[in-house]
Chain A
Amino acid sequence: MDKYQIYRVNSPQIVCETIDGEVVIVNLDKGYYYSLLKTGAEIWSRIERQLDRTSIIEEISCTYDGDIEEISTAIERFLEELQREEIIVPHDIANLTSATDHVPNTAEVRDKQLFERPILEKFTDMEDLLLLDPIHEVDVDAGWPNTKAG
């Protein structure tokens, strides 16, 4: 696996938006809905900036507190999962637009938060979830598409 591999969002079938630190993603062909929070959203922003694998790991390691090996493995697995779900695809280097966008920001962050494994939350039963009343039938603390417990 190329450690300098760069990825891009698999558009047009993938559309995404960042809402208050959460990345929401839709696969328009399959209708699947995904959500990325915390480290997942952090990695996503670096994919959008077209950082390569190594640079993503470097930046996240500077931002979060944790074992470098553990961080590296978690990010590798996360990138693989995103590829498996066809959310991202390897980017052809020849198509890169600007080299200045790809310089990693490796400035050390003080008061680092503990690294948490990035999680890709996936929802596939969307027909049912769309029928949910987003006021009365959802988890009050999490909101749609998280259903009310019980």
Chain B
Amino acid sequence: MLSRPFHSNIYCLSHGQKLILQATLLKEESALQAWDRWQSAVDIETLDSSSSALLPQLYQNLLALGVQHQHMARLKGIYRRNWYANQLQLNYLSSLLAKLKDHKIETIVLGQASFCSGSVENYRSINSLHLLVQQNELERAVQHLVELDWRLVSPITKPWIHLQDQRQFPLYLQGHLFWCEPQDYTDAQIWHYSTPYGCDPTGWQLSVTDQFLDRCARTFFKGSSNQIEGIADAMLLIQNSSQDLDWRRLIAQSQRYKMVLPVRNMLILLQEVLQCPLPNWLLPELRLMPITQQEWLNYKVLAGDKDAFWRAKLVQSVSSINHLKTPLRSFFRFAFPGKQALKSFLRPVRSTF
């Protein structure tokens, strides 16, 4: 397998990660070829955690392809384990949603649990719960959760409120998903397009388009490790819910929410690694869209995209200089002997033209 990413601000897939993505998400002969190459190139005993997360989904695909291999029993075991654990977590989540609903608090299920709702399943383990509530309900939701024996771990002022139950199982609660002024309108759009959560009428889930945007942002956000689950989820959304994925709205919202870069990254990878069929106009249109300074600062660029890399570096340098401005300003305000002489010396000479 190739080495892990060499730069924290660059998103780079190893050869093994590309192969497991292909074996997991492609169909028929393409998947079988990728599986053959993957299982002969990697040792399942020493697999990276990101690839390991795809194993239950890989098992499902191999099972459908009729693969018989010595690893299948262990892969089935991982699938069984996740299925069992998730049933308990979903049951727990269901009662939690019902209790919040009793207090007239509506919730949108985010995170791993949103990929266990029936129509789109990735068979990964639910290791935390992640809920979105209306911003004006956030404090009330926290209050009720505390009454239900959840303990606040992070201050309520943070964008994500972190709570834990007695098992120390984490729950993340937030009032905003995408940040864009006017924020009330942005939030209202998310709720407007949300759909009922699986077969549980007590909760909601993001629309496929918003789910796709959310996956793009989380996958390429700087500081997060280069995980491949986001790519698998994005592909799954296209494969299973393409009729609900509004490409026009996707790129309009990616520009509104300043997420052109992560969406572009995702679509390039889906096309290059998984030969995902996309509308012809999509990538050219995204490539023409300006990427804001904030995006260059917040998101990773794809390995090999030299132009994007240098732009991100430039913006980062400019941003560092801007940060220096404030202490320098106070330095110039401070009176010290010879300051006037220094200022005249530093003052730029006016052009005679």
Contacts and interface: CB of A to CB of B under 8 A. Distances in A.
Contacts of A132: 81
A28 interface: yes
A134 B78 contact: yes
A28 B52 contact: no
Contacts of B314: none
Given A135-B44, A135-B45, A135-B47, A26 B84 contact: yes
Interface in B295-339: none
A17 interface: yes
B74 interface: yes
B337 to A, nearest CB: 69
Contacts of A141: 73
Interface stretch (B30-38, B85-93, B169-177, B256-264): B85-93
A28 B88 contact: yes
B276 interface: no
B63 A135 contact: no
Interface in A21-51: 24, 26, 28, 31, 33
A82 interface: no
B160 interface: no
A142 B72 CA distance: 9
Nearest to A143: B77
Nearest to A126: B84
B83 A138 contact: no
A122 B292 CA distance: 57
Question: Looking at chain B's contact residues, is the secondary structure mostly helix, strand, loop, or mixed?
Answer: helix
Interface in B66-111: 70, 73-81, 83-85, 87-88, 91
B78 A142 contact: no
Nearest to B92: A28
A136 interface: yes
A144 B78 CA distance: 6
B47 A28 contact: no
B263 to A, nearest CB: 34
Given A135-B44, A135-B47, A143 B63 contact: no
Q: Is the interface of A mostly helix, strand, loop or mixed?
A: loop
A135 B88 CA distance: 22
A143 B78 contact: yes
A131 to B, nearest CB: 11
Contacts of B74: 134-135, 138, 140, 143-144
A66 interface: no
Given A20-B63, A28-B91, A138 B84 contact: no
A33 B45 CA distance: 26
Nearest to A17: B83
30 contacts: A17-B83, A19-B79, A19-B80, A19-B83, A20-B63, A26-B87, A26-B88, A33-B84, A130-B84, A134-B74, A134-B77, A134-B78, A135-B45, A135-B74, A136-B45, A138-B74, A139-B73, A140-B73, A140-B74, A141-B73, A142-B77, A143-B75, A143-B76, A143-B78, A143-B80, A144-B77, A144-B80, A144-B81, A145-B81, A145-B84
Interface of A: 15, 17, 19-20, 24, 26, 28, 31, 33, 126, 130, 132, 134-136, 138-146
Given A130-B81, A140-B74, A144-B80, 17 more contacts: A15-B87, A17-B83, A19-B76, A19-B80, A20-B76, A24-B80, A24-B83, A28-B87, A28-B91, A130-B84, A135-B45, A135-B52, A138-B77, A140-B70, A144-B81, A145-B80, A146-B77
